[in-house]
Amino acid sequence: MIAFEEAISLVLDTCKGFGVEQVPLKESFGRVLAEDIFADRDFPPFHRATKDGIAINYDAITKSLEEFRIIDIAAAGSPQKELLDFSCCIEIMTGAVLPLSADTVIMYEHLKIKGEDAVVQKPVKKGQNIHRKGSDEPKGTTVLKVGKKITAAEIGVLASVGKSEVLVKKNPKVCLVSTGDELVDVIETPMAHQIRKSNVHTIEATLLREGIRSESVHIKDDKEITKSKLIQLLNNFDVLLLSGGVSKGKYDYLPEVLEDIGVEKVFHKVKQRPGKPFWFGQHKEKEVTVFAFPGNPASTFANYHVYFIPWLNKCLGLSTIEFTVILEEAFENSTDLTRFIRAKARIVAGKLKCNLILGNGSGDLTSLSKANGFVLLKSNKEYKSGAIVPFIATRSIL
């Protein structure tokens, strides 16, 4: 059995990329850029009005002219107009191209419109209410860099530069494997000795949050069936996330079977709670990474966030966000195990504080819905109220 610190280090040492691929813009959300993105034109591409009002030449104001004849209107999307007579003005809408020879926009709120004339009623500053050409990004500037995760904001930038197809890093092909004769499908009514599958659905949902669509299979407690099915999966996936079958029970075949089919064990069992029987290995020839988590819901959920998410992020060139929180109650970890304890973190007066949710053991599924993460508590250590500890977020803390 190894320490948690060694286990996470060994997991991260196996990280590798999965290549790149072109995807349509609409399918790029949540993916990681594999190319630098450049401005294909100035941003904005022209001097544009930021207010509805009139466009004038400021020199007219300096000559004490405060009333302008309206001679035209510039709408957003229309070609550029030209202001030839500086005693006149052109009405202009937000987003429209600033007329040639105009250099200032006065918004309607600072005007009084009398028929075809606009009377200025507030002081005017030269160049006001204009978004200057190229002031955001000049043509050729790198607007997004390799390794950037694509969110809604990046989608807008990509659309603005005409990227209908985007080069992104490939996500791993992931298969979720549940094991055990006691598990039945969600639509089934369990018998007294059975329970419905939950782990695969929980992890499937968390993978979707990472932009990964996974597949799932269930394997009964039969050694030969387990071996045959896992051999098939090794030929079709980059990652196997298994739940159950790694403890000391007579039907916990996975450690033996995985090594029989060429998956090299990196470690089995970690000094941690929950998830002490965690098994981790790789099939080096087929380049498949195997995370075999204990089957209890809290064990699977904690290990997924503690190990798999940092591993995935490193494979994709992303950093894993690290939080610390302030404990609002004392806790003594008198064991020789690293503890991952369910917790509810929240912002209080600008500080991130948390309360522990002790639950009813690693099989307590419902307590996971009350938490938004796990606090990491070191072995044989007493924590006082107010102690600052690492926090592994499983969802938004807001």
User: Each residue's pLDDT tens digit in the chain (398 positions)?
Assistant: 999 999 999 999 999 999 999 999 999 999 999 999 999 999 999 999 999 999 999 999 988 889 999 999 999 999 999 999 999 999 999 999 999 999 999 999 999 999 999 999 999 999 999 999 999 999 999 999 999 999 999 999 999 999 999 999 999 999 999 887 666 676 667 777 766 767 788 899 999 989 899 999 988 878 898 999 999 999 999 999 998 878 766 657 888 999 999 999 999 999 999 999 999 999 999 999 999 998 888 889 999 999 999 999 999 999 998 899 999 999 999 999 999 999 999 999 999 999 999 866 544 666 788 899 999 999 999 999 999 999 999 988 87
pTM: 0.85
Using DSSP bridges, classify how beta strands 174-179 and 239-243 pair: parallel, antiparallel or unpaired.
Answer: parallel
User: To the nearest 10°, the Cα dihedral for 265, 271, 272, 273?
Assistant: 100
Dihedral sign from CA coordinates of 232, 238, 244, 249: positive
Which residues neighbour 187 within 8 Å (Cβ) at sequence distance 6 or greater?
Answer: none
Phi, psi of 238 (to 5 degrees): -90, -30
Which of these, 292, 367, 225, 307, lies nearest to 10 by C-alpha position?
A: 307
Q: Which tokens belong to 322? A: 């690290």
3-state secondary structure of 314: helix
pLDDT score at 195 = 62
Which residues neighbour 49 within 8 Å (Cβ) at sequence distance 6 or greater?
Answer: 55, 74, 92, 93, 94, 95, 96, 98, 105, 129, 130, 131
Q: Which tokens belong to 316? A: 């994709």
